Structure 1
Amino acid sequence: MDDHAGKSPHHLTINVTRRDDPVSEVTEADAFASVRKYPNIVVRGPLFGIAEQRRGDRPRWRMLGEPDTGFPQMARDELNSHLWFKAKDEAEDRAERRSLLDAVARLETEPVNEVRAAGVRYRIVRADEFARIGDGRLEPPRATDPDEDSWDPATPDPSRTEGFVIDHAAAVGLTEGIDRVGLLQLSYTADRFPADVRADSQRALTTHPGVVLLPPTFRVVERKELSWTMVTGQHSTPQGARRALVQHLTMRMPELPDLPDMPELPEWMKVDEKEAAVNERAAKKFTARRRPNELIVRGRRYDVVRVERVMRIGPDGPEKPRPSDVDEYGPSQIRPSMDEDGNVTYGS
């Protein structure tokens, strides 16, 4: 900080503020106890999403949704569709629609990580997903994490990250401030990561020296002897993850009609009626409990775990994908062609 005379740059400022209201005090105490019980972290890898910066928001950026894909190109495709629908449904005139469609055209042909359209900057942003661990167990949900009790599979699970303002200098509680300081030097060092990944990770400590924590999410993992396997995607509440576990245990493949010359299903797709019955009973017992976070079924252990995402911040905002972040495919046309009058052309 001594290199910066006067006020510290926005991307280096961590503003720790004590709040005296009872809710904040309980949340702080819960967070402090959890960090002590689960003092280490396990990094799963990068996730990618989309952020926007509007006029007047500078230097802040705002998340457009969850960073929930492991490949930058998938996030670019999401941005492609987002801008196409804005051009179709929200553009107020031909000039605005043309600006949006020009950005779409770039995303269809170039693996770009930032575009400008209709006065807004859009960026593909990167975050590292990690969980805390202590005594060989991943951290479960905290008592103060937002939660609910419905087992109805149709219950909404709205994102807590959509609309999140990426503000490095925003006031945070003492525990989050300490957490962020502890994450400043987080990088990939294990031999299981390729050399270019480790080099990019080390370089990011200098190019993007700040860190911001996104709202936590929750997943179900299957605990193995020496590792964990992800069973569900991200959910905004622990109960959303619990509902996903029930669906995982009870969902069956739809029965196919018995047609002549129908090929036999592979073994992995066949329903084991005995196992299905065991899973049904386990799911029923699971849903009879209030906010359970673990389940053992025929020797297989499932845990609901708390997952955090840390985003690195530089002078120009959140980090983009790194050169070593690989894609399985390249850019392409996602939506039909559209002209600046909003006319859509389907087909060839």
Structure 2
Amino acid sequence: MSDDWKRQIDALHSELVRRDDPAAWVSEADALDASYLYPHLAVRGPVFGLAAREPGDETDWRLLNDVMDGTPQQARDGLNSLLWFKAKDSADGRAERRALLAAVARLEQERINEVTVLGTRYRVVRGEEFARAGDDGLEPPRPTDPEPAVPSWDERPSPPSHDAGFALAPGRDSGVMAGALRLALRGFTYAGDDFPPAFREDARRAVRDYPEVVLLPVSFGVAERSGERWRPRGALMPTPHDARRLLVHGLTEFWPLLYDLDDVERAEFARAADRFKSAGRANEVVVRDQCFRVCRVERMVRVGPDGPEPARPSDVETTEPMKLHPTMDEHGTIRYDE
């Protein structure tokens, strides 16, 4: 253990002792148990989102949305829409609207990862998504992960963002195990012939230029086991119960349509959903030859002297920049015929 590593771990431990918080100690015990039961990291790959640094704030970049987009261009399109609606709904006069619309025009034409508008720096940020894995597969939720006091299986609107407003500031770990994981991830890079040379070179450069790591809020998702591999099914959720509700919806609504199940198969999936709900805080269900599990998903963002890491040149793109919204002039007039 390097002196720097030991010094930081000792500081985290001292802070935990100073707080004298029994709940924090239980969470630490859960995290320690998980490190033994699920000692491996299963890396899914990059995810993308948006961050901003406001005028006068020379330290913290804060996330604007969930870092869950699959490509950089999806995040750029999100920034395009964010600025367009600012121009439409909250611009203070023609000058502000012109500045916002000028940035929108660039985003319609260019693959840019940062733009400054009215003193605010906006950046497409790159993260890595991963889960812990052990002999029985991916890690399920921990006993100390947050659960609603009164869980409901009723349909509800999409849960609010749990990343928005999160400060991308290294060293603000919630415990010793989280701090140890962050320190261990600083040297994470792609290696092996499975990755093209450009991927490996960009990863090495990121370790050098963005040496610090910030762990984002933990999320929860549904994965399906296929042989020895696990495949994600659906979006990430802020709590285990939100992911369980997503799994029930998949069993009863989405997957029967996707797989064109017959009446007998639909009934099997519905019975499996009922068993799952009746079990309370269950995290796994098997129906026919398919195994679904609610899993604990973690993400990290690299940070350097100038802020969070943007998209890399080697990141895969599937779409081009394009016009997403009607034409608006500096007066706020929208033309739908252009």
The two structures have a TM-score, normalised by structure 2, of 0.91
Deviations 1:285-332 (A, max 9, x none): 111121110001112111100010011111101100111002112111
1:102-117 equivalence runs, <5 A: 102-117=102-117
Indicate the percent of aligned positions where both proteins have the same amino acid. Answer: 47
Match for residue 270 of structure 2 among 258, 271, 280: 280
1:166 alignment partner, SS class: coil
Deviations 1:107-149 (A, max 9, x none): 0111100001121100000000000111141111111111222
> Are the aligned partners of 2:171 and 2:179 in contact in 1 as well (CA < 8 Å)?
no
Between stretches 137-146 and 147-156, larger displacement belongs to 147-156
Q: Which amino acid aligns with 2:334?
A: V
Q: Which residue of 1 aligns with 2:298?
A: 308
1:137-156 equivalence runs, <5 A: 137-148=137-148, 149-154=151-156, 156=158
In structure 2, distance between residues paired with 1:136 and 1:254: 27
Between stretches 163-172 and 13-22, larger displacement belongs to 13-22
Residue 251 in 1 paired to residue 265 in 2? no
Query: RMSD of aligned C-alpha atoms?
Result: 2.1
Residue 345 in 1 paired to residue 335 in 2? yes
> Are the aligned partners of 1:157 and 1:237 in contact in 2 as well (CA < 8 Å)?
no
Match for residue 215 of structure 2 among 213, 229, 232: 213
In structure 2, distance between residues paired with 1:133 and 1:253: 26
Deviations 1:36-84 (A, max 9, x none): 2211101100001000100233221111111111110111001000010
> Are the aligned partners of 2:327 and 2:335 in contact in 1 as well (CA < 8 Å)?
yes
> Are the aligned partners of 1:113 and 1:320 in contact in 2 as well (CA < 8 Å)?
yes
Q: Which residue of 1 aligns with 2:24?
A: 24
1:310 alignment partner, SS class: strand
In structure 1, distance between residues paired with 2:321 and 2:62: 24
**What are the ranges of 5 or more consecutive residues in structure 2 without an aligned counterpart?**
none
Residue 202 in 1 paired to residue 231 in 2? no
Change (3 A) 1:170 1:48: same
How much has 1:86 moved relative to structure 2?
A: 0.7
Q: Which residue of 2 aligns with 1:260?
A: none
How much has 1:156 moved relative to structure 2?
A: 5.0
The two structures have a TM-score, normalised by structure 1, of 0.89
Match for residue 164 of structure 1 among 162, 166, 185: 166
Deviations 1:166-190 (A, max 9, x none): 1114354211111111111111114
Q: How many residues align?
A: 326
In structure 2, distance between residues paired with 1:170 and 1:96: 35
**What are the ranges of 5 or more consecutive residues in structure 1 without an aligned counterpart?**
3-7, 256-267
Residue 323 in 1 paired to residue 313 in 2? yes
Change (3 A) 1:241 1:254: closer
Q: Which residue of 1 aligns with 2:65?
A: 65
